[in-house]
């Protein structure tokens, strides 16, 4: 099993559910410790694993941003971890929360495995980018000459510059992640965070984008599954409010009518690392109670 962390409610508190987190690109599972602790205090067992090519799930730093089994391997790993958690903690409802690239993985996962979970939260959702198809062609062309482990500054700029541009005046790279400068500085100092993807990694990202926004392949639907999309109102990953709401509508049309959304004005990409993140946590708890029927004390 991949390197993982599982945390528990305080001693003497009976667990009311399991939350499986799927982190985003270019980060690691330890960045979710505070978020997991919050939900532990509310009675949830929380679990997260480093995805392939991230955190401690590497042999050397050259493996960062490289996926041995492509995008499908990411989906399969999430499913394997889900089944492990359900075996270890039987009888408890399981909620899956995916952030950023993790939100793409979770939606691709739900195309076939939605009956395995009781609710889903989609955080920092990348809206559809028509560049994905052309991007794959471009990446394959570069890989012919440089190989799939090559880290292309050109592809990196194509993917990331639209996120950086709105916040250039703040004078710090990755300002788009959070309004909390301390969070951004810690991220920038971490040698396991922010490392550009290999061509292989960006190709997997483009594949995930196409999979999620395709209208085909949505099998084994759990049409009653409650799903909540959340995004910062200043998150460039959403592209625009219109594009974000279009992503929500697309998911509904793919067979999940119980899909809701919440936009948070003045917040950026990492809602769980925003200054007023407690507001987001409280809304997620309300979603669990009202839509998933999980009573929280």
- Helices (DSSP H) in 217-256: which residue ranges? 241-253
pLDDT at 130 over 70: yes
Contact 274, 268 (CB under 8 A): yes
Q: Which residues contact 144 (CB under 8 A, 6 or more apart)?
A: none
Mean pLDDT (the chain) is 96
pLDDT in tens, 192-226: 999 999 999 999 999 999 999 999 989 867 999 99
pLDDT at 147: 97
For the cut 80, the answer to whether the pLDDT of residue 297 exceeds it is no
Encode pLDDT of 40-51 as tens digits: 999 999 999 999
- In this predicted structure, the answer to whether residue 288 has a pLDDT above a threshold of 90 is yes
Q: What pTM value is reported for the model? A: 0.96
Nearest to 184 by CA among 268, 62, 58: 268
What is the predicted pLDDT for the residue at 58? Answer: 95
Give residue-wise pLDDT tens across range 5-21. Answer: 999 999 999 999 999 99
Residue 88 has pLDDT above 70, yes or no: yes
- Tokens 């052309």 sit on residue: 134
Distance CA 261, CA 263 (A): 7
Query: What domains are defined for the chain?
Result: 4-292 (3.40.50.1820)
| 218 and 254 Cβ atoms separated by less than 8 Å | yes
Q: For residue 263, what are the β-bridge partners?
A: 231
């Amino acid at each position: 099993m991949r390197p993982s962390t599982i945390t528990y409610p305080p001693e003497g508190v009976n667990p009311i559910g399991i939350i499986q987190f799927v982190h985003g690109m270019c980060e690691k599972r330890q960045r979710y410790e505070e978020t997991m602790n919050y939900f532990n205090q509310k009675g949830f067992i929380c679990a997260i694993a480093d995805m392939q090519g991230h955190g401690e799930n590497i042999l050397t730093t050259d493996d960062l941003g490289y996926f041995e089994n492509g995008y499908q391997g990411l989906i399969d790993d999430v499913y394997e971890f889900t089944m492990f958690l359900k075996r270890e903690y039987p009888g408890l409802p399981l909620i899956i929360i995916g952030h950023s690239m993790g939100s793409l993985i979770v939606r691709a996962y739900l195309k076939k495995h939605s009956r395995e979970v009781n609710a889903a939260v989609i955080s920092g959702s990348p809206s559809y980018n028509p560049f994905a198809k052309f991007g794959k062609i471009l990446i394959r062309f570069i890989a012919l000459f440089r190989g799939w482990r090559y880290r292309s500054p050109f592809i990196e700029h194509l993917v990331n510059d639209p996120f950086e541009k709105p916040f250039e005046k703040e004078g710090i790279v990755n300002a788009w992640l959070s309004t909390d400068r301390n969070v951004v500085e810690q991220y920038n100092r971490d040698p396991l965070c922010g490392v550009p993807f290999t061509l292989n990694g960006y190709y997997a990202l483009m594949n995930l984008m196409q999979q999620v926004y395709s209208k085909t392949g949505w099998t084994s639907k759990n049409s009653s599954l409650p799903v909540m999309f959340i995004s910062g109102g200043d998150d460039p990953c959403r592209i625009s409010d219109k594009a974000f709401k279009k992503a929500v509508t697309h998911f509904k049309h793919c067979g999940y009518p119980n899909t809701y959304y919440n936009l948070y004005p003045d917040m950026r990409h990492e809602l769980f690392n925003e200054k007023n993140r407690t507001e987001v946590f409280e809304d997620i708890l309300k979603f669990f109670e009202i839509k998933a029927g999980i009573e929280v004390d």
